[in-house]
Amino acid sequence: MIEENKKIVDNFGRAHTYLRISLTDRCNLRCFYCMPEEGIELIEKPNIMSLEEIIALAGKFRDLGVDTIRLTGGEPLVRKNFGYLVEELAKLGVTLKITTNGIMLDKYLDLFQKIGLRKINLSLDTLDKAKSVFITKRDYFERIMKNLEKALEMDMEVKLNIVLIKGVNDNEINDFIELTKHKNLTIKFIEFMPFKGNKWDWSKGVGKQEILDLISKRFGNIDELKNPPHSTSSNFKVDGHVGSFAIVSTITSPFCDECNRIRVTADGKMLNCLFANSETDLLTPLRNGEQMDDIIINAIKTKKYSRDGMDVKMDADHYEKNRSMISIGG
């Protein structure tokens, strides 16, 4: 039982129990909505958390009430000795999840099964190979599709993450929904969000209502599912389909009221929000052997209620000061 004053609670009374750790800012893809065209300044090696530091920090968060950890990146599976890391993290007794582009998934599925990691978000923006090459600037489509099938055969809980961009993949919305007819997976449509250097412009985005209209026009009745606590998406199912779909409407209808998320970057900086442009350094005090509890508990007190203060609209002066998405991790 964790004492109340040892929980990570913000000034709005929201207890933070969900941690996303970015294992690296390196990636084997170059998705144009995530990675700025000119690239990013990579974190220098000595400033990247070692595996032991990640494990230690994750343990501190667990002791402060975190019960769920999602591993992300960059691409988390390119992190050297990832297998060792995930096995150690599994010993913390938290629910482990991962967000990956799927390229290296085959290498780790058996291990995931062994340690009980079943929740996999796989980014797959298109079902078309040529378009995949256009979006990711790399040619891994077949490999990703094969790994998706493998994960489903192994009964993993798979969600497909799809960032919708007008004129690029919005014409595939119903093809993705078609997949849910017989496959037990969730299709997660994500509204295009602004980060440093990604040339965001909402006219390129596709909003929640537009997505729902397109789906109901083709498939008819859509059931709204009950959202689990702290859900960051609205969840639906087409009548008679095995799988379901979800919409992450960060732009048109943010869901910050019950936010329970904290992020830690690969260089050990704590972010209170996906759009935070201030950070708390955790790695230096960890390396100095300092007491971490109060640093984490105090850091969350500066959290704003919604979108790091961009309550009404996305403000370029704000989000251009953030990190690029590739070094936050989603």
Chain positions contacting ligand SAM, by CB under 6 A:
27, 33-34, 72-73, 75, 99-101, 123, 161, 163, 190, 192-193, 195, 198, 325-326, 329-330
Segment interacting with ligand SF4 (CB under 6 A) among 15-23, 152-160, 241-249, 252-260: 252-260
As a whole number of angstroms, the distance between CA 194 and CA 250 comes to: 10
3-class state of residue 89 by DSSP: helix
CB closer to ligand SAM, 123 vs 233: 123
CB of 2 to ligand SAM, least distance (A): 29
Residue 73 interacting with ligand SF4 (CB under 6 A): yes
The tokens for 299 are 């850091």
Nearer to ligand SAM, 74 or 243 (CB): 74
Q: Which does 192 bind (CB under 5 to 8 A by kind): ligand SF4, ligand SAM, none?
A: ligand SAM
Q: What's the closest the beta carbon of residue 52 comes to ligand SF4, in angstroms? A: 24
- By beta-carbon proximity to ligand SF4, the closer residue of 215 and 271 is 271
The whole-angstrom separation of Cα 94 and Cα 173 is 34
The piece of 41-49, 208-216, 238-246, 256-264 that touches ligand SF4 (CB under 6 A) is 256-264
Instruction: For residue 328, report the phi and psi dihedrals to the nearest 5 degrees.
Output: -100, -50
Binding mask 31-70 for ligand SF4 (x = CB under 6 A): x--xx-----------------------------------
CB closer to ligand SAM, 73 vs 268: 73
Residue 256 contacts ligand SF4 per CB under 6 A = yes
Residues 6 or more apart whose Cβ sits within 8 Å of residue 113: 154, 156
- Contact present, 189 and 162 (Cβ < 8 Å): yes
Answer yes or no whether residue 273 interacts with ligand SF4 by CB under 6 A: yes
102 makes contact with ligand SF4 (CB under 6 A): no
What is d(CA 62, CA 212) in angstroms, rounded to the nearest whole number? 37
Cβ 86 vs Cβ 51: under 8 Å: no
Q: In what order do the strands lie in the sheet with 222-224?
A: 222-224, 234-238, 244-248, 186-191, 157-164, 119-123, 95-100, 68-72, 18-22, 261-264, 269-271, 280-281
- The β-bridge relationship of strands 119-123 and 186-191 is unpaired
Tokens 């919305």 label which residue? 173
* Residue 296 CA: distances (Å) to CA of 4, 143, 260: 14, 40, 14
**The entry of ligand SF4, ligand SAM, none that residue 30 binds, CB within 5 to 8 Å by partner kind:** ligand SF4
How many residues line the site for ligand SF4 (CB under 6 A)? 24
Is there binding between residue 198 and ligand SF4 (CB under 6 A)? no
Q: How far is the CB of 101 from ligand SF4 (least distance, A)?
A: 4
Q: Are 239 and 220 in contact (CB under 8 A)?
A: yes
Number of residues that make up the chain = 330
**Contacted by 160, from ligand SF4, ligand SAM, none: CB < 5 to 8 Å by type:** none
**Closest separation between CB of residue 291 and ligand SF4, Å?**
26
The helix (H) or strand (E) run that includes residue 293 is: helix 293-299
Q: Among 22, 126, 244, 306, which residue sits at the site for ligand SF4 (rule: CB under 6 A)?
A: 306
Residues that bind ligand SF4 (CB under 6 A): 27, 29-31, 34-35, 73-75, 101, 123, 232, 250, 254-256, 259, 261, 273-275, 306-307, 326
